[in-house]
Chains A and B, each alone.
Chain A
């Protein structure tokens, strides 16, 4: 079946602009995660959804970052007033059932470049 998909694959924007990154999880997966990966480093956790609600948003770096999952499937990560330091690959993962020790399936990521 289809894996986790993310769009766009690449996004170039200017400092100060607003961007939205989309994640389509595997059908039926109730848990969804966002991570951010800077060059040469491992992914860093941002936020975790269980269904429609954000169960853990402790990894969001500041209030410019926000994510939603209104129908419990597709999720959108939103970044306001982008900064050059936001440049990274943004990864989405999903798992099922609710994810305590279950495998997370990752998408290919969205490469965000802030000029």
Chain B
């Protein structure tokens, strides 16, 4: 079973920041938070991951609360091409990814 809870869907205006929340209240100390996204008819694409510190890369920023029970993925300037399903995944030392239902983000012009 997925260890995360995400809203089913969200809308965002083009050019604005998209903030996607994720709850993972049962996360344990050695588990990382990963984010993937899946654009229609494509395979999932890695975005970012973190353990406890905030992380930033060319795609997004990941903000993890101090207690690590929740996190937020931030797309700073959403474009129409960011329309996708975003999956928040808690991953331990096991190798597989356990996907939940994800958040369907719709970026609107």
Contacts and interface: CB of A to CB of B under 8 A. Distances in A.
Contacts, number: 56
Q: Classify the secondary structure of B's interface with A.
A: loop
Contacts of A101: 32, 49, 91, 93
A41 B43 contact: no
Nearest to A6: B43
Nearest to B89: A42
A44 interface: yes
Contacts of B49: 101, 103
Interface residues of B, number: 22
B96 A91 contact: no
15 contacts: A35-B97, A42-B99, A42-B101, A43-B44, A43-B99, A50-B95, A55-B95, A91-B43, A99-B95, A100-B93, A101-B93, A103-B46, A104-B97, A107-B43, A108-B41
Given A93-B44, A106-B44, 17 more contacts: A4-B43, A41-B101, A42-B2, A42-B87, A42-B99, A42-B100, A45-B98, A56-B94, A59-B96, A91-B44, A93-B43, A104-B44, A104-B46, A105-B46, A107-B43, A108-B41, A108-B42
